[in-house]
Chains A and B, each alone.
Chain A
Amino acid sequence: MSIYIPNTPECHHPVHLDRRTMLRLAGLSGLSWLTPLATGLARAAERQRQRQAKSLILLWLEGAPSQLETFDPHPGSEIAYGSKARTTSVPGVLIGEGFEQLAEQMHHIALLRAITSEEGDHARATYYIKTGFRPQPTIVHPAIGAVICHQFQAADSNSVDIPRHVSILPGEHPGRGGYLGDNFDAFKIGDPVARVPDLLPTVPTTRQQQRLQDLAFVNGEFLRKRQRPSQAANPVGTATLDAALRMMTSAQIDAFDVSKVPASDRLKYGDTPFGRGCLAAFRLIQAGVRCVEITLGGWDTHVDNHNLQAQRIQILDPAFSSLIADLRAHDLLDSTIVLCGGEFGRTPWLNPLGGRDHWPYGFSLALAGGGIVGGRVIGETNPAPKKDNKDRLADLKNPHPLPDIHATIFHLLGIDFTEELITPIGRPMPIAEGKPIRALFE
């Protein structure tokens, strides 16, 4: 059995009478609305709405972490090469040594331990995990955050003044808008103690006002004579100007800046750039941002794997665990999905330099919030894989292809991922290709 369902006090569904079960039961009675079942059905639906995910935080571990030193340790086995593990708040679930604080939050976090990908090159695999589609030469797919923003565009139009898709400490491949357009690209910022670039006018307010008046005059005649049906939604870029001005004057912009957050709170997250990024992500989600990705690089450990992974874990541990704790404390975990992982895993053997190389044939991702049932572990890797095995996937139990992650996230967000979006050249493209991993939330 590869699905581990814990019985912890945090599980709020002791009889697992979820909405789907209720509906199934209700279907047995055409008069269900007259019975106490109807009341139960309505309450379950209400609870479901409250639990409905609204946003996503992606803790992006660029370079590909080793599953054996993070979320899928096999202590004592040959493939561990001495790596140790530690117990967690979920009985029977071990994670890598070094996750001291995360271990205490494990009952809020689910682990997928047998994710498979067809891509073993960093750039291609990153594209795959960020978009849910393998790279194709003739189309650029939107990143998951871009799709979420696209799907919630109407709902957010009057409530959020700042970009709804944000990349903190962007690595080489921050989320792109792809065929949805560059306006869905992630807004990139560095360490959130530094000022967000280009937000402040370069002249005093009176001059800035004058400049904007001049701009309105200069644009006026030019735009009047160039109204185009194809530009109706955004007449030659003026909508972006309005968005930029809204952002420059919005109080929501404070969410980007953690320099004024009490030092003790920053310290809780580790007070590293990544930790501060996670703290900023929490604040941005509070402000209504839909998707934040925070990058922690340095996981590509072809040399000296154990030490380098341990150094990264030291940074990840306080940040990830504090993020979960803060989201919970502010009743945001039910509406925020947190996904943590990299583009693939690392080999279950060490190379002569003490490194682990690329391994897309069964690696781990951690998921929490937004309806994910914490403490579950789905999928197993073999502690004694066959090195010369031609079918690497044969070693796995209950594997899931990468696109299932995307289908799961969209499902939790209430987005119909089978819907087809139309690319600029009129090509219909489904939002996602996989199937939701129901064992994560049912």
Chain B
Amino acid sequence: MTIRSTTKKNWLLLLTLVGFTSLLATRYFAKDRIPEPKILERHQANQASFASVARRVDAVFEARWQKAGISPTRPADTHTVVRRLSLGLMGTVPSLEELRRLEKLPPELQLPWWIARLLEDRRTSDYLAERFARGFVGVGSGPFVVYRRHRFTEWLSDQFQQNRPYDQIVREMLTAEGLWTDTPQTNYVSAHALLDGQNETNAVALAGKTSRALLAMRLDCLECHDDFLGNIKLGSVSDPKGGEQIDFHRLAAFFGQTKITLAGVQDRPDAAPYRYKLLEDDDARVVEPDVPYDRHRLPTVGAPRTRLAQWVTHRDNRPFARAALNRLWATMFGRPLIEPIDDIPLLGPHPEELEILVNDFIAHDYDLQRAIRIIAATRVFQLSSAAEDSITDEHERLLAVFPLTRLRPEQVARSLIQATSLETIDARANILRRLELFGSENDFIERYGDFGEDEFVTRGETVTQRLLMMNGDLVRRRIDENLFAPNRIAMVSPSAEKTAEALYLVCFTRYPTVEEQQHVAERLNRSKNERRTTIQDYFWALLNSAEFGWSH
């Protein structure tokens, strides 16, 4: 009886082991580890349409280059463009596994395939949501704000993942009622609550945020006084007028009767209307909701926030589309077309390339994925950042060279973690890897420092950041420990040539040049008995280099 029972247990153990191993094998060796993007076929069908808009954008830039008498840099190679797209849309470099999969495709299919993969990958919608959410709900601290922003970002990511039209997303944000937990889009309002114990809606903050993030207009100065410097032009081209204090507070008044109650964000038509004491007044007065320009498009009936949402997302309200595309352009290029990102003059002049993109965006129902495809297909996006001849201010100003921008903290952290892992750390990666990514990334960013809301402003590197990359714990662990890429490359690469290839692909998303191949070979030959430490040291140099730390 005892022998039979033990045998039975052994069989069970064996079966469990076999089952577990098979599961792991399926997980790691399955053919669809990097599956074929489902939207590729549909996007391919529209390729000509994307290309035709991209060519019109290119023509604008080319005319400018010709007029200025400058030549653009040569086109970047496919791998460089793949890295740019990955950093801009997904916030990390591609994995070696992904690059190997990509290389199996015919060259002409590689970029469309990669964009389709990126657009289907949850990492992209998460990352884009983080970028847009910074503009929508800021980066304020405090437990309520952090939680509400987190819920809002998750919701936004879902919308991007489904490729919902951008105008619909914004309408929901502006009008949603309910609890911030089960209706996360309400956090556009509740993340700006006054945290003074009353939990009141902050109508002034919402007016400022709505004008900057959704219309790319900085009306904030008007909160306190009329514009006496001539910086804020409202009205129309034929009948311009200076911004007045009342314009700002009329916009704030749309949120004046929105309250935060136990039932969440609610519109209360019975609540006291918005009141404000203007600079010239002796007492506060009731301010009626109104919009700062094109008043004829404001619906006359409906709840205040609904009227505002309909006006903001009206198809003829071009500032709304301009604001979205300027932010999308900044996400992909590292800097916006018009700087600062949230200050596009209402009455122009507006760059012709932006207007071409705006026309297409509106005509195709605010399709963000299409806009991404078009921008990615332009010649300016695919130019090299390098030149044999000197690059002038004109080259940079006219985008005749791809701009150099420092990676944001989360891009550095994610790229560092991805580069030191041969497998892809995406939603399909095992849970332990994803948890490790999450923890390591948060610790790293806390020490590295967040860029805050002004993330597209050019800024310098700090000594703290440099020291963290040189001597920090995350870099040390990812280089030293056996699990990670440097040591795995040291173990499995059969030759110096293959070693150099793997090192440059995982860190820089490109193959090494002949000179670089020779350098790595010499280093390995010089220290034959210390192959592992040589590779670790070289990996450290790659991670600390300008090529790794900058988008280019």
Contact = CB atoms under 8 A, between A and B. Distances in A.
B449 A182 contact: yes
Interface string B385-396: 111101111001
Contacts of B457: 179, 424-425
A167 B160 CA distance: 40
A14 B406 CA distance: 57
A306 B343 CA distance: 49
A183 B342 contact: no
B465 to A, nearest CB: 7
Chain B, interface size category, equals 35 or more
Interface stretch (B58-66, B267-275, B305-313, B543-551): B543-551
Nearest to A181: B460
B230 interface: no
Contact of B544 (A136, A199, A215, A424): A215
Given A198-B472, A225-B387, A238-B546, A138 B218 contact: yes
Interface string A182-222: 11010110000000011111110001001110110111011
B463 interface: yes
Contacts of B549: 237
B291 to A, nearest CB: 19
Interface in B494-552: 513, 515, 519, 523, 533, 537-538, 540-542, 544-547, 549-550, 552
A420 interface: no
A164 to B, nearest CB: 10
Contact of B458 (A188, A201, A424): A424
A425 B523 contact: no
B470 interface: yes
A425 B336 CA distance: 12
A203 B460 contact: no
Contacts of A123: 140-142
A226 B404 contact: yes
A175 B503 CA distance: 39
Interface string A232-269: 00101110110110011000000000000000000000
B541 A199 contact: no
A201 B387 CA distance: 34
B2 interface: no
A230 B520 CA distance: 32
Contact of A241 (B393, B466, B475): B466
A216 to B, nearest CB: 8
A198 B470 contact: yes
Contacts of A238: 546
A231 interface: yes
B67 interface: no
A213 to B, nearest CB: 8
B513 A210 contact: no
Interface string B314-340: 000000000000000000000000011
A197 B339 CA distance: 36
Given A201-B471, A424-B457, A185 B546 contact: no
Interface residues of A, number: 54
B212 A240 contact: no
Contact of B464 (A137, A185, A201): A185
Interface in B354-392: 385-388, 390-392
A187 B392 CA distance: 34
B220 A237 contact: no
Contacts of A229: 391-393, 396
B462 interface: yes
A3 interface: no
B468 interface: yes
Contacts of A121: 195-196
A172 interface: yes
Nearest to B480: A202
Contacts of A247: 463, 467
Contacts of A228: 391, 396, 404
A187 B406 contact: no
Contact of B519 (A136, A201, A217): A217
A404 to B, nearest CB: 20
A314 interface: no
B467 A199 contact: yes
Nearest to A173: B141
Contacts of A177: 459, 462
Nearest to A213: B541
A393 interface: no
Interface string B465-498: 1111011100110001000000000000000000
A227 interface: yes
B333 to A, nearest CB: 15
A223 interface: yes
Nearest to B527: A210
Given A138-B218, A219-B546, A240 B460 contact: yes
A107 B459 CA distance: 44
B471 A182 contact: no
Interface string A114-150: 0000000101000000000000111010000000000
Interface of B: 140-142, 195-196, 208-209, 212, 218, 220, 339-340, 342-343, 385-388, 390-393, 396, 404, 406, 447, 449, 452, 454, 457-468, 470-472, 475-476, 480, 513, 515, 519, 523, 533, 537-538, 540-542, 544-547, 549-550, 552
- Closest 8 interchain pairs by CB? A214-B541, A225-B386, A183-B460, A198-B467, A244-B466, A215-B541, A236-B546, A181-B460
Interface of A: 121, 123, 136-138, 140, 163, 172, 177, 179, 181-183, 185, 187-188, 197-203, 207, 210-212, 214-215, 217-219, 221-223, 225-231, 234, 236-238, 240-241, 243-244, 247-248, 424-425
10 contacts: A138-B342, A183-B463, A198-B467, A215-B540, A230-B396, A241-B544, A243-B466, A248-B471, A424-B458, A425-B343
